[in-house]
Amino acid sequence: MQNPMKMMQQVQKMQARMAKVQSELEAETVEAAAGGGAVKAVVNGQQKVLSIEVDPDVAEDVEMLQDLVVAAVNEALERSREVASRRMQEVTAGLGLPPGLV
C-alpha cells in the first residue's frame, strides 16, 4: 500500500492538472459543417455552441436549413466531446483507472 501522504499529493496534482485542462478546453474550439459548408457550427471544448454561420443561399428552404443546423451542431458537439475526452485521458494516464471512467 502506498504512503497515504504521497497518494494525497498525487490526487492534488491530478486535480490541478484537470482544472488547467478544463480552462484550456473553454478556450479551445472545433468547427463542423453540413451541406457542403452551407452551415457551420463552432463549439468550444466545454460543449458550448459559440457560433452558427449560414450561407444565405440555403436560408430560403427552412426545413433543409433546420436539418443542416442540427447536423452541424451535433457534429461539432461530438468533435468537442472527443477533444475533451482525449485531453482528460492525458491527465489521468498512469493512474490505472478503467477506460471511460473520466
Q: Is residue 102, in this structure, part of any structural domain at all?
A: no
Rounded to whole angstroms, what are the CA distances from 9 to 4, 31, 89?
9, 38, 19
Helix axes 62-92, 4-27, angle to 10 degrees: 150
Please tell me the predicted confidence (pLDDT) of residue 72. 97
Per-residue confidence (pLDDT) for residue 10, from 0 to 100? 79
Q: Which residue range is the domain that position 87 belongs to?
A: 4-92
pLDDT reported for residue 7:
78
Instruction: Strands of 1-102 (E only): list them.
Output: 29-34, 39-44, 49-54
In this structure, is residue 74 part of a structural domain? yes
Q: How many domains does the chain have?
A: 1
Q: Which pLDDT score, from 0 to 100, does residue 8 have?
A: 82
Per-residue pLDDT of the chain (102 residues; tens, 9 = 90+): 567 888 788 788 888 888 888 888 888 999 999 999 999 999 999 899 999 999 999 989 999 999 999 999 999 999 999 998 888 888 777 666 566 555
Residue 99 lies in a domain: no
Element (H, E) at 92: helix 62-92
Residue 98 maps to a domain: no
- Say what the pLDDT of residue 100 is: 58
Residue 101 lies in a domain: no
CATH code of the domain covering residue 81: 3.30.1310.10
Q: How far apart are CA 72 and CA 65, in angstroms?
A: 10
